[in-house]
Amino acid sequence: MKFTVTAARDLAERVLAALGHDATDAVLIADHLIDCELRGLAYGGLARAISIAERIARTGDRRRAIRVLHETPVSARLDGGDQLGYLVAHRATQIATGKAEATGIAVVGASDTWYTGMLSYYAEIAAARGLVSVIASNASPWVAPHGATEGRFGTNPICFGFPSADEPVIWDVGTSAIIHAEVTLARRLGQLLPADVAFDAEGQPTRDPGAALAGAFAAWGGHKGSGLGIVVQLLGIMAGSPPIPPELAGFGFVIITMRPDLMGSADDFRANVSAYAKGVRTARPVDGGAPVRMPFDRSRAERQRRRAADAIEIPDEICRQLNDIVARQPAGVNS
Amino acid sequence: MKFTVTAARDLAERVLAALGHDATDAVLIADHLIDCELRGLAYGGLARAISIAERIARTGDRRRAIRVLHETPVSARLDGGDQLGYLVAHRATQIATGKAEATGIAVVGASDTWYTGMLSYYAEIAAARGLVSVIASNASPWVAPHGATEGRFGTNPICFGFPSADEPVIWDVGTSAIIHAEVTLARRLGQLLPADVAFDAEGQPTRDPGAALAGAFAAWGGHKGSGLGIVVQLLGIMAGSPPIPPELAGFGFVIITMRPDLMGSADDFRANVSAYAKGVRTARPVDGGAPVRMPFDRSRAERQRRRAADAIEIPDEICRQLNDIVARQPAGVNS
């Protein structure tokens, strides 16, 4: 079903209100989900609201206020209060960017959260304030380390962001061979997974998304990529995540952000980032290949295209389930 | 030829003295090269001293003193003075760890250096002081971004280090499909490269190390890995490296280091890192596979084995060239 961006945003906000979020939080979470849709990452878009509803149905609403447990001029540690990562990570980003603007560099960690979304969302916030950022978020042990068939870390995204004289450079990757939300969406739509991305509970390769969710996904990038997944898990542990979090709870989030003028002229740095990006994009492509892309170029182009068309396509089955949530639980019931 | 560790260290120090390094610096650089040998990374070991001699023969000795250009309580920016990265990165690490101990988190960047070696060497220093670290070093444009056949970034290592209750966890990877020193060593020994790791100057695949050095190496890890190489280049640019440094000069180095007790109990964190590492190592291996390893486990075991045997094997041709350097340029000539 085709929505205008405004209509899709409105639907997302109504679903989130039905799930007990006040207007401010619903707007913030919906903005993140809509940004996923605009960027063509449907598995992290409106479909994610169904996964949120399922999680709350399973555990009950355990939310507490997000609290600062410990703070210094260059750091803060938050208790996420079992709130959605979209909210906790946004709060952490606000605190980290404020502190970095004041002191030069800051680190903020948060524990007891879940579903932190696209880390690039937070890196864009930091870059818009002229800051370089390093962001990581761990999760439940859905992913097997290289050489193993049992989960020991999450799909564990990591992201670096850089301001430039024009568009920021953002590198945001997951460290698993497949993203959790892709597997959930495949199960929801009755599709098979690609080969070689998952093990079942007995450690045998599987293409069944249900079996993969009961087993483990493969790590991305052999031993190097697997090591990066471990790095993200350790950063999450530093932020207060248990070494192996339970299902969809207890995730950690870390953002380090800094002013490039600690090192020299910020203007020179921004100009150099832009010049460098241009240099990469104009590198000679492989025979018959497309022009070379910088990280985030695809996302930026997709977002511009859908914004210009003012159109977001949501599968009918997802629309039906979203409308069910709104019908089942009128806004305000849990808030 | 087989050396005791002491004899290999002595040879390295004599070569470095012949290349104009005073005793303090020669000891520091030799320690790094010997650590490479102990860890089984011969391409970064004593053979590297020959590459250093060739670089100095080509450019002349342009060394200036390493200087602090700009400093805050949480940062420093160094001019590396065209000194070897082993020295510049070591200095940056000393400053960063001292500042992080005082303020909680610090970032130090350095420009105008070359050959920064294994970043894990610096991460081990930080971890021994109980600090978490993020370290990156860019280089000359030897590596083609994913989809390109022309160099736009260096072999660009990146490293994360974590203290634990026993052995630190260190993840240190290059972002190219092959390491520069491996290609140099292959050329020195007259060997072919593996397939699919390099392009010649015309952009065609090549296995000839000389053609690869005139062309470009492939990036590691497809678009994700290529993006990480770009991230490292941008971190280097932040530290004052030109976007595209010249051959073996103008590299950047960045270290961010922080106290885990910014986030909570440092003892709990260290215990959790150890427990997590144990959990990874005991994950069920793939059918017929070896036990799962944590990053750095292989290096640590190799180092222990060679230390216990007190034996380092150096190819005869490398020994001959090292002895030539000592004979050609007696210690003290350039210092």
Asked whether residue B253 is assigned to any structural domain, the reply reads: yes
Rounded CA separation A65/A310 (Å): 36
Q: Return the residue of B nearest to A103 by Cα.
A: B74
Contact (CB<8Å) A280/B237:
no
Nearest to B107 among A105, A242, A285 (CB): A105
Instruction: For Cα atoms A236, A242, A245, give the angle at the middle one, nearest 5 degrees.
Output: 95
Chain B residues with beta carbon closer than 8 angstroms to that of A279: 152, 243-244
Does residue B238 share a domain with residue B125?
A: yes
Q: Please give the pLDDT value at position B329.
A: 67
Mean pLDDT of A299-323: 96
Q: Of the candidates A149, A235, A293, which has its C-beta nearest B284's C-beta?
A: A149
ipTM over 0.90: yes
| Per-residue tens of pLDDT for chain B, all 335 residues | 999 999 999 999 999 999 999 999 999 999 999 999 999 998 899 999 999 999 999 999 999 999 999 999 999 999 999 999 999 999 999 999 999 999 999 999 999 999 999 999 999 999 999 999 999 999 999 999 999 999 999 999 999 999 999 999 999 999 999 999 899 889 988 999 999 999 999 999 999 999 999 999 999 999 999 999 999 999 999 999 999 999 999 999 999 999 999 999 999 999 999 999 999 999 999 999 999 999 999 999 999 999 999 999 999 999 999 999 999 865 454 44
Name the domain count of chain B.
Answer: 2
- The verdict on residue B228 lying in a domain is yes
Q: What is the pLDDT of residue A185?
A: 84
Nearest to B233 among A234, A276, A293 (CB): A276
Give Cβ neighbours of residue A329 (< 8 Å, ≥ 6 apart). Answer: A18, A19
- Distance in angstroms (rounded) separating the CA atoms of residues A124 and B96: 27
- Cβ-defined contact of A283 to B162 (cutoff 8 Å): no
In chain B, what residues touch A160 (CB-CB under 8 Å)?
A: 231, 234-235
CA of B85 vs chain A CAs: smallest distance (Å): 18
Across residues A68-88, what is the average pLDDT?
A: 98
A294 contacts B264? CB cut-off 8 A: no
Strands A105-114 and B216-218: unpaired
- At residue B335, the pLDDT reads 41
Same domain, B16 and B153: no
Cβ of B286 within 8 Å of Cβ of A72? The answer is no
CB A153 within 8 A of CB A141: yes
Taking the C-alpha atoms of residue B273 and residue A303, their distance in angstroms, rounded to an integer, is: 39
Question: Does residue B73 share a domain with residue B37?
Answer: no
Contact residues, A window 147-176, toward B, CB-based 8 Å cutoff: 147-150, 152, 160, 162, 169, 171, 173
Q: Specify the pLDDT at position A334.
A: 47
- For residue A320, the distance in angstroms to the closest alpha carbon of chain B comes to 35
CB interface of B with A, residues 216-245, below 8 Å:
220-221, 223-225, 227-228, 230-231, 233-235, 237-240, 242-244
Across the interface, whether the CB atoms of A283 and B160 are under 8 A apart is answered: no
Looking at residue B304, which CATH number applies to its domain? 1.10.1530.10
CA atoms lying within 13 Å on the CB side of residue A314: 26
What is the CATH classification number for the domain harbouring A137?
3.30.1370.60
Nearest-Cα distance to chain B for A231, in Å, is 7
CA-based angle A243:A247:A251, to the nearest 5? 50
**Contact status, residue B110 vs residue B252, Cβ threshold 8 Å:** yes
Nearest to A276 among B109, B237, B289 (CB): B237
Q: Is the pLDDT of residue A333 over 60?
A: no
Of A171, A230, A264, the CB nearest to B227: A171
Query: Does residue A117 sit in the same domain as residue A229?
Result: yes
Nearest residue on chain A to B111, judged by CA atoms?
A263
Please, where are the H alpha helices in chain A?
5-18, 23-38, 47-59, 85-103, 119-128, 180-189, 209-214, 222-238, 266-281, 297-309, 316-328
Question: Is residue A316 less than 8 Å (CB to CB) from chain B?
Answer: no
DSSP state, residue A1: -
**Do B93 and B238 have their domain in common?**
yes
In-domain check, residue B110: yes
For A260, which of B238, B260, B294 is closest by C-beta distance? B238
The residue segments making up the domain with residue B230 are: 67-176+221-262
For residue B328, give both structure tokens: 């050609």
Same domain, B109 and B225: yes
At A330 the pLDDT is 55
Give the Cα-Cα-Cα angle B299, B227, A114 (nearest 5 degrees). Answer: 85
Q: Is residue A200 part of a domain?
A: no
**Beta-carbon separation of B285 and A239 below 8 A:** no
Residue of chain B with shortest Cα separation from A266: B238
B14 and B121: one domain?
no
Residue B83 lies in a domain: yes
The three-point CA angle A208-A214-A217 to 5° equals 70
Comparing CA positions, the residue from B308, B331, B310 lying closest to residue B9 is B310
B271 close to A (CB below 8 A) = no
Indicate if A30 and A118 belong to the same structural domain: no
Position A169 scores a pLDDT of 98
Tell me which chain B residues have a C-beta less than 8 angstroms from the C-beta of A73.
103
Option in B75, B276, B286 nearest A237 (CB): B276
What distance in Å separates residue B212's CA from the closest CA in chain A?
Answer: 15
Chain B nearest-CA distance from A4, in A, is 32
Q: Does residue A112 share a domain with residue A82?
A: yes
Q: Are B148 and B226 in contact (CB under 8 A)?
A: no
* CA distances in angstroms from A135 to A91, A202, A240, listed in the order given: 13, 33, 15
Tell me the chain B residues in contact with residue A295 when contact means C-beta distances shorter than 8 Å: 223, 227, 230-231
B161 and B28, same domain (yes or no): no
Task: State how far the alpha carbon of B261 is from the alpha carbons of A66, A80, B53, B103, B163, in Å.
Answer: 20, 18, 44, 11, 12
Tell me the pLDDT band of A181, cut-offs 50, 70 and 90: confident
Alpha-carbon gap: A29 to the closest alpha carbon of chain B (Å)? 26
Residues of A in contact with B162 (CB under 8 A): 234, 238
Residues 71-100 of B with CB under 8 A from A: 72-75, 77
The reply to whether B202 falls in a domain is: no
In sequence order, which residues have a C-beta less than 8 Å from that of residue A275 and are 6 or more positions away? B243
Over residues A221-240, mean pLDDT: 98
CB proximity B287 to A under 8 Å = yes
Residues 98-137 of chain A with CB under 8 A from chain B are 103-107, 109, 132, 134
Please report whether residue A45 resides in a domain.
Answer: yes
CA angle A291, A134, B264 (to 5 degrees): 160
- Please check whether residue A201 touches B, CB under 8 A: no
Nearest CA in chain A to B260: A238
Q: How many CB atoms sit inside 10 A of residue B35's CB?
A: 19
A239 & A148 share domain: yes
Residues of chain B with C-beta less than 8 angstroms from the C-beta of A100: none
Say whether residue A144 is in contact with chain B using an 8 A CB cutoff. yes
Residue A294: its chain B contacts at CB < 8 A? 230
Name the band, by pLDDT with cuts 50, 70 and 90, for residue A43. confident
Quick one: closest CA in A to B273, which residue?
A234
Q: Is residue B284 part of a domain?
A: no
Average pLDDT (A215-240) is 98
B157 → chain A, closest CA residue? A224
Mean pLDDT of A160-168: 98
Are residues B247 and B162 part of one domain?
Answer: yes
